[in-house]
Structure 1
């Protein structure tokens, strides 16, 4: 098995486990407490852990052997997940889930850095396309598998399967080489301040790269805010049933898989500009159709566009980011910008929920989709600038930032 195939298998297996776990943990917690509020608390833990860790997680990751770090986080997550069925109190459950979110805050920048180091620039577009395809497939198949497991077994079994997926992921990573022999030393407060200044300096001197990245994460945050109100909007405003909603989710998943297959098949023929422009343009159109829809058919077309072209936008965005942020800085860059993204996501989710109480929910969703469309047009305008062509080549990196 090639290195890229092993990487895809490692991350893919853990992602399938994550989607099984996502369904199982909600069912398990509701069975344990009988409280919808307790289940809702799950969605607070992740952003809270991110706020407490992302401002310094990248400083640790960029000073470590990221392969060992990834293996360690897989093993810790496997242990914590395996313990969940033995917990009987809500505080202990939340504490364990916070530990999982805490570890994940380190896993994400470490994964980005390791992938960037392992996959050469000429192969990143194709690799990211296949990784997106695996994510889409996990999104479609994982919950269905979880539902089947819950029919024939208990939530405990589904949760232990997720723990096993982390173990398998870690074992696969053991077969891959280390790409850095860095030794983690104690990270002091002064180191974190230096890292903040370093990321700030890179952002100022490479403002075009930072601007594309900022617009991208703002767009993702707006999409997440709309997704948080998706069920309420479709059932109370559009008038769809729970069955309709389940069908729409399946249709979106199928669209995502088809989009992932298309990008993976034609990755070497599709330029970064094509991926970014077509992806963000049609995703924006999809959200506008969703926001203004009055029937199941219009929502279906909008969701198909979202599912299909998210694969284009995601592959283009990730490849652009990996090609233009230096490997030695990418962990810190990911974490620090991720901290801002977490804050923005929380504020937008609260804002759309709050305005939904003051104004018709349709108004809030349309306003959000219009703002997302404007951001998409801004990104497209930047991408199409003739003098920025060097930033979108697959075989070279335009900036020469070295002071890391």
Structure 2
């Protein structure tokens, strides 16, 4: 069958179903652009804010603590985001999330005109990361009201593709802007992207949600809606992230970069492998906390080393290149692991993935990383 015949057949199928192709759906196209801008703004913040802390204080530990605080806030927000999103007007929620992030991020370059105020970053980033989690959950829930169930796969594919692209381009652009005009200017661009995203979402028309036909006294309260098991695991995991951020500087001074990084990567692998065999909630929670703590420690050490050895005039470009590689590999790894877990089961896949982390740590022992001294 020729390509023209296949395209004609697809068009006929859509016509028979009364559906228009997605590129002709005005509301989906506008929402698609808004979601892409929102992801772009988030990825800008990942680069610009840590660089702003480093520029103002010169402290690598404080920069790592800021990143960890933002991640912990997002995890904690995820515990409650689902219940809140199901109770409110989702369109207004999305617009509100973008406007809040626009205002909060917009404060930073304005305040920086009068001089660095590092405390503001520790207030803004955790709040924005928490709000971003509510936006992320909300945007997933409204896709069905834009395209219907028949086109969900196609719509999600397009949304995920552009989100991945924005995740790659965002750090690259943030690094360029930070190197050219400074990190504060990059944060200003970040704030503007959320303003445009909010304006676009305001133009989207969502289909009405079905009414909840349960009696008011039959509807669970906000605190009962979230599964207690999931909430417990996520809360303990967040504590692990915070603990890792607080310990990383002291651990590195005591053991040096090489031992800290390789040890953290090895423990990550062991914890992840153990998650596949864990049979009770406390074990899952503890392993999750260990995994997230060591992910944070390894990531902070890695970022610190790049900042220590990279010349100042190249720091933005090196940072952006690193994040580009990381964001490019993440979707591939996620797709591969989820496919393998579905085909072979969670336990063997977790064991293999964890073993790979341990092997990376062992391989690092045969590189100059092993000889990295204390700092």
How big is the shift at 1:81?
A: 0.7
Choose the corresponding residue for 1:277, options 324, 343, 363: 343
Residue 147 (str. 1) matches residue 175 (str. 2): yes
In structure 2, relative to structure 1, the CA distance for the partners of 1:224 and 1:172 (3 Å cut) is farther
Residue 126 (str. 1) matches residue 154 (str. 2): yes
Q: What residue is the counterpart of 1:164 in the other structure?
A: 192
Residue 15 (str. 1) matches residue 15 (str. 2): no
Alignment of 1:28-107 (within 5 A): 28-46=52-70, 49-50=73-74, 53=77, 56-87=80-111, 88-107=116-135
RMSD value, Cα = 4.8
SS of corresponding position for 1:43: helix
In structure 2, relative to structure 1, the CA distance for the partners of 1:223 and 1:72 (3 Å cut) is same
Q: Is the 8 A contact 1:234 1:245 kept in 2?
A: no
Q: Is the 8 A contact 1:64 1:182 kept in 2?
A: no
Give the whole-Å Cα distance in 1 for the aligned partners of 2:287 and 2:176: 34
Q: What residue is the counterpart of 2:17 in the other structure?
A: none
In structure 2, relative to structure 1, the CA distance for the partners of 1:248 and 1:78 (3 Å cut) is closer
How big is the shift at 1:78?
A: 0.7
How big is the shift at 1:181?
A: 6.7
Give the whole-Å Cα distance in 2 for the aligned partners of 1:56 and 1:257: 26
SS of corresponding position for 2:143: helix
Q: Is the 8 A contact 2:71 2:126 kept in 1?
A: no
How big is the shift at 1:67?
A: 0.7
Residue 289 (str. 1) matches residue 356 (str. 2): yes
Give the whole-Å Cα distance in 1 for the aligned partners of 2:95 and 2:80: 20
Q: What residue is the counterpart of 2:239 in the other structure?
A: none
Residue 228 (str. 1) matches residue 255 (str. 2): no
Q: Is the 8 A contact 1:20 1:158 kept in 2?
A: yes
SS of corresponding position for 1:176: coil
Q: Is the 8 A contact 2:36 2:162 kept in 1?
A: yes
How big is the shift at 1:64?
A: 1.7
Give the whole-Å Cα distance in 2 for the aligned partners of 1:61 and 1:100: 17
Give the whole-Å Cα distance in 2 for the aligned partners of 1:56 and 1:94: 22
Q: Is the 8 A contact 2:49 2:121 kept in 1?
A: no
Deviations 1:134-175 (A, max 9, x none): 233233222221221122212122111111111121122122
SS of corresponding position for 2:51: helix
How big is the shift at 1:225?
A: 5.2
Scaled by the length of structure 2, the TM-score of the pair is 0.55
Q: What residue is the counterpart of 2:256 in the other structure?
A: none
Choose the corresponding residue for 2:141, options 106, 113, 120: 113
How big is the shift at 1:247?
A: 7.3
Paired residue total: 271
Q: Is the 8 A contact 2:104 2:124 kept in 1?
A: yes
SS of corresponding position for 1:177: coil
Q: Is the 8 A contact 2:68 2:296 kept in 1?
A: no
Give the whole-Å Cα distance in 1 for the aligned partners of 2:340 and 2:150: 16
Q: What residue is the counterpart of 2:221 in the other structure?
A: 194
In structure 2, relative to structure 1, the CA distance for the partners of 1:59 and 1:140 (3 Å cut) is closer
Deviations 1:190-234 (A, max 9, x none): 999634445559x9xxxxxxxxxx9x9999988755543445888
State the structure with bigger RCO (CA 8 A, min sep 6), 1 or 2.
1
Give the whole-Å Cα distance in 1 for the aligned partners of 2:324 and 2:75: 32
Q: Is the 8 A contact 2:50 2:67 kept in 1?
A: no
